[in-house]
């Protein structure tokens, strides 16, 4: 008799399950209220199953969604950067801005970006096969990012503004003082303009722009906002600048090539002979 006890438990469980199913069937046939209750329960179960399935499908298609989003973001960067320009031409995925100089602008994605040293660098997914050359600028709609030093077949390497060896010719206000702008060496959105004359007042909150005196960056790209200024050695001023471009949140950039640079450099060499 003792050996039959497990079979008795199984039989009891089976009877209980049959009675439960019978009770549900009876409820489904004995009134509107019960129908509503069962229908709601069924809908909840269906919703749970559908929702779980959607989460699984979304998980496995996340990579594809990210690639599509990256492509859309790239187009948005290009559109914003040329917004307001009046004389543009397009060829093979490049943008030519002939209003502020003959600049070719090529969108690129950052492959690697260092931010933890005094000599930070950047690697981009565009190279010589995309028409990229050394000594070309790297910008975003939020300002200057860096400068390309060397180019491979499919990638390019450069230094960023967060590098002690890089400076940018900048201007305070649309018609204000021009001076070199350098990274402050500390924060991901901080810079300093040095060597400014004492006889000019510098008001906090002025916009800082690219001056256009460099052959690598188009003029009038907004870089940041002026902050506090101080006298240095009794002869010049320096002013802190809060950059619009925070290097802690950077993914897409635009490579700027001045197609007139060769002619400009040829004139400079001829003048010093």
Select, from the ranges 50-64, 65-79, 118-132, the one with the highest average predicted confidence (pLDDT): 118-132
pLDDT at 103: 82
Sign of CA dihedral 245, 168, 114, 105: positive
On the question of pLDDT at 100 being above 50, the answer is: no
Confidence grade of residue 166 (pLDDT, cut at 50, 70, 90): very high
pLDDT at 265: 72
Q: Rounded to whole angstroms, what are the CA distances from 25 to 19, 42, 172, 194?
A: 10, 14, 81, 85
Q: 167-172 and 252-258: which strand pairing? A: unpaired
In angstroms, the CA 224 to CA 173 distance is: 11
Confidence grade of residue 182 (pLDDT, cut at 50, 70, 90): very high
Q: What is the mean pLDDT of residues 197-207?
A: 86
pLDDT at 96: 45
Sign of CA dihedral 240, 244, 245, 249: positive
On the question of pLDDT at 98 being above 50, the answer is: no
Between 58 and 194, whose confidence is greater?
194
Q: What b-and-e string marks burial along 62-81, b requiring 16 or more CB atoms within 10 Å of the CB? A: eeeeeeeeeeeebeebbeeb
On the question of pLDDT at 245 being above 50, the answer is: yes
Sign of CA dihedral 124, 112, 135, 144: positive
Confidence grade of residue 153 (pLDDT, cut at 50, 70, 90): very high
pLDDT at 171: 93
On the question of pLDDT at 69 being above 90, the answer is: no
pLDDT at 176: 84
In angstroms, the CA 262 to CA 269 distance is: 11
pLDDT at 3: 47
Between 139 and 14, whose confidence is greater?
139
> With contact defined as beta carbons under 8 Å apart, do 256 and 139 qualify?
yes
On the question of pLDDT at 116 being above 70, the answer is: yes
pLDDT at 72: 54
Sign of CA dihedral 110, 116, 120, 121: negative
Q: What b-and-e string marks burial along 185-206, b requiring 16 or more CB atoms within 10 Å of the CB? A: eeeebbbbbeebeeeeebeeeb
pLDDT at 249: 82
The average confidence (pLDDT) of the chain is 76
Output the six-digit token pair for 51: 């929702």
Three-class secondary structure of residue 35 per DSSP? helix
Q: 222-232 and 252-258: which strand pairing? A: unpaired
pLDDT at 6: 56
Output the six-digit token pair for 222: 């907004």
Quick: pLDDT tens for 82-95: 444 444 444 445 54
Domains of the chain: 66-135+145-159+249-260 (2.40.10.340), 167-243 (2.40.10.350)
Q: Rounded to whole angstroms, what are the CA distances from 61 to 54, 55, 65, 73?
A: 10, 10, 6, 19
């Amino acid at each position: 008799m003792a050996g039959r006890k497990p079979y008795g438990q199984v039989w009891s469980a089976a009877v209980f399950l049959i009675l439960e199913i019978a009770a549900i069937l009876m409820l489904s046939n004995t009134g509107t209220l019960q129908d509503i209750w069962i229908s709601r329960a069924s809908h909840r179960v269906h919703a749970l199953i559908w929702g779980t399935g959607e989460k699984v499908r979304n998980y496995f298609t996340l990579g594809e969604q990210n690639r599509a989003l990256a492509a859309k973001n790239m187009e948005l960067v290009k559109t914003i950067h040329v917004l307001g320009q009046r004389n543009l031409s397009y060829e093979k995925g490049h943008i030519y801005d002939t209003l502020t100089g003959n600049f070719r602008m090529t969108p690129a994605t950052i492959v690697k970006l260092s931010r933890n040293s005094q000599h930070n660098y950047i690697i981009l997914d565009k190279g010589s096969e995309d028409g990229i050359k050394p000594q070309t600028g790297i910008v975003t709609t939020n300002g200057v990012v860096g400068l390309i030093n060397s180019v491979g077949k499919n990638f390019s390497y450069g230094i960023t503004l967060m590098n002690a060896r890089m400076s940018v010719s900048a201007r305070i206000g649309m018609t204000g003082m021009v001076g070199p702008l350098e990274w402050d060496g500390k924060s991901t959105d901080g810079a300093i303009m040095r060597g400014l004359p004492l006889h000019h007042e510098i008001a906090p909150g002025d916009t800082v722009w690219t001056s256009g005196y460099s052959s690598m960056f188009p003029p009038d790209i907004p870089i940041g906002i002026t902050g506090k200024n101080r006298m240095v050695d009794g002869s010049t001023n320096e002013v802190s600048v809060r950059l619009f471009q925070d290097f802690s949140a950077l993914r897409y950039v635009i490579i700027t090539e001045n197609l007139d640079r060769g002619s400009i450099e040829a004139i400079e060499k001829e003048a010093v002979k």
